Amino acid sequence: MARRAMCLLPQWSSRVFSVELDGAPFYFSIQERHRGEEVPRVFSEVQNNDRCYSLLVCGSDRIRRAKFYAELREKLLRDLPPECDVSPMLSFLPNVKDSLVKGYFLKGSSSSSERLLRDLVRHDPVLVCSYLRKDGGQMWTQHLWPHADNQTMDMSKEYYVVPSEAPEHHPSTLNIINSDVFYSFEDAYEVIKKCGDIIPEATSVMELLPSRAEARSKPDFPVIVIEGLDATGKTTLTESLRDSLGATLLRSPPQCMSPLRARFDQEPPLIRRAFYALGNYITAEQVGQEGMKAPVIVDRFWHSTAAYAIATAVSGPVCNLPAEGSEVYRWPSDLFQPSLVVLLTLDPEERKRRLRDRGQGKTEEEQELDHNQLFRLKVEEAYRRIAGPACVTVDASPSADQVLQQVRLLIRGKCHL
């Protein structure tokens, strides 16, 4: 823990903190003198007898840090008194890439909570701060706790907590690249490789990977990717296109990864996203082989992997997403680009009806789409902003045959099939 915490401290007073309340981030910063600023909203509703603490996960190994962050939430919810609120928290330097540190904010905690935190700071990679009420609640101060590995640090300093403007870009965007979304085979491969000693199934993933990660020459035949949320008609359309075009149908993630998906879906985003990113490269290897013999239809590809990851990482409304043209939406340089990407869209109520009719089990993210309209809007907008190639949107509400004919026209115009 010591090395990463040491990196944070020289710029500690420049850092901004955000606490997520009701799905939206609220920001505060710290300063050495109080100049009459209002109490940040995070603290304004704290009851007189309540205490507040923050925990930032600071381990130097990002694989173990990601796993510890996920496990810490379960530990806090299990071991803290029920009246203690646990909210996601971030600390970052505005507009500085890779400066983001994740953690949790505790409100309404008690003396038993403090014992738990003291045990954590003794043994685990966390930086703990307490927040104390002053002047009848008109001011709050932040105090860093000493850590067993950092006895030489001066932790006695007191900072005043003050409101902070929302940053130009949502803080999560600082760490999206090669953390939530991977832009090369090597970056995703390195994450799964380092998981070998803590996730036995990582070895099985490695055995499935193509031997070479270079961007291959374009297949002789066109490659058409069909994207969209569940129940928009992707399966029906992809199978109809396969039959009508005499094409090969592939899926991403590929079938060979299916036995491993349930295991990696339990992992924190860093590991889970690396797993799905590698699935695109396995599918790309299959496309390279099959595309020499016939046209290829792909049921989901990199657009899905990136869109879901971006929408999950960025909390709050759609306007918090990285701006159109951001490097977050760029296509990986070592992944082949399809000839055409079709995004099927559907009225939310019609999509829910179709899902009910299917009655199939859904992933956690698909369940989130069902009851969180905001998440669905962010996924769809992220789809639209990904470039290289961009998606062509098709309304999937008409009959399956009408949708097929519309997509066939697109393919004829773009791919001359």
CB 92 within 8 A of CB 107: no
Residue 336: which residues within 8 A CB-CB, separation 6 or more? 215, 216, 218, 219, 223, 284, 287, 288
Before 222, cis peptide (omega within 30)? Answer: no
- Note the pTM of the prediction, 2 decimals: 0.90
What angle do helix axes 302-313 and 269-290 make, rounded to 10 degrees?
170
Q: What single string gives the DSSP state of each residue in 174-218?
A: GS-BTTTB--SHHHHHHHHHHTTTT-THHHHHHHHS-S--SPPPP
For 288-301, the pLDDT digits (tens) are 999 999 999 999 99
Residue 179 tokens read as 């953390």
Q: How confident is the model at residue 153 (pLDDT cuts 50, 70, 90)?
A: very low
For 66-94, the pLDDT digits (tens) are 999 999 999 999 999 888 899 999 999 99
What domains can be seen in the chain, in order of their start residue? 2-172 (no CATH), 185-415 (3.40.50.300)
What is the three-class DSSP state of 244? helix
What pLDDT does residue 152 have? Answer: 45
For 264-289, the pLDDT digits (tens) are 999 999 999 999 999 999 999 999 99
Q: What are the E-state strand segments in 275-412? A: 296-299, 340-345, 392-395
pLDDT over threshold 90, residue 7:
no
Q: How confident is the model at residue 147 (pLDDT cuts 50, 70, 90)?
A: low
